Amino acid sequence: MTKSFKEALKARRTFYRIENKSTLSDKEIRDLIRFAVEFVPSAFNSQTTRVALLTGKAHEKLWNIVKNVLRERVPAEVFGKTEEKIDGCFACGYGTILYFEDMAIVRSLQESFPTYKDNFPIWAEQTDAMHQLAVWTMLEDAGMGASLQHYNPLIDDEVRKAWNLPGDWKLVAQMPFGVPVAQPGSKEVMSLDERVFEFTD
């Protein structure tokens, strides 16, 4: 990393203004993702997270799927704004990273450890979130901007169909990324005294 972990984590922001350029080669992006998937922890070492990198036509296809699905659900009089946001904030990027959880493994763990049955779906979401943060932070460190979107479950079936993905893969999030063309605004931070506590007895 070019920055320390703390510096990169602090610099990681939600970027909506991105362009179809990359500071990394496709191989470097792929290696970055593979690094996160290899080393991010998971409960019971379950390794339930699945990640798909979409670039080029695949990236365009995803956001066309999103628009087509929303076109059927969003009132016609406001769909123009929806399409404008998708084209101007997400589809305009270099690529999109899809995050999934393999629910077949989750169900298997529920059967093997019934005491924790209700926890496994929660733990799966938690490890997925850790993968998202790890990748997002490394993209930021490489000079890229990204955001996290959740058009699931509306697009799940179409996404699985488009890339012939297993039916047990539950789509959790979409991360469009590219080179930033504008910086995000300031962010309000709640007092840490209201969020962090310490006890010694």
- Residue 186 domain-assigned? no
In this predicted model, what pLDDT tens digit does every residue of 8-31 receive, in sequence order?
999 999 999 999 999 999 999 999
Residue 27 lies in a domain: yes
The token pair that represents 60 in the structure block = 């365009």
* pLDDT for residue 112 is more than 90: yes
Q: Is residue 136 part of a domain?
A: yes
CA end-to-end span of the chain: 39
Among the listed residues 89, 99, 93, 79, the one whose alpha carbon sits nearest the alpha carbon of residue 156: 99
Q: What CATH number is given to the structural domain containing 33?
A: 3.40.109.10
Instruction: Using the predicted structure, report yes or no on whether residue 6 has a pLDDT greater than 90.
Output: yes
pLDDT the model gives residue 35:
98
**Segment (H or E) for 120:** helix 120-141
Where b means 16+ CB within 10 Å and e means fewer, 110-148 reads beeeeeeeeebbebbbebbbebbebbbbbbbbbebbbbb
The answer as to whether 198 is a domain residue is no
Q: Is residue 187 a part of any domain in this protein?
A: no
- Residue-number span of the structural domain to which 45 is assigned: 5-181
Residue 66 in any domain: the answer is: yes
Number of domains into which the chain is organized: 1
**What is this structure's pTM?**
0.95
Average of per-residue pLDDT across 132-158? 98
Could you give the percent of the chain with pLDDT greater than 90? 97
Assigned domain for 85 exists: yes
Residue 145, phi then psi, degrees to nearest 5: -115, 145
For residue 22, is it within any domain? yes
Across all residues in the chain, what is the average pLDDT? 97
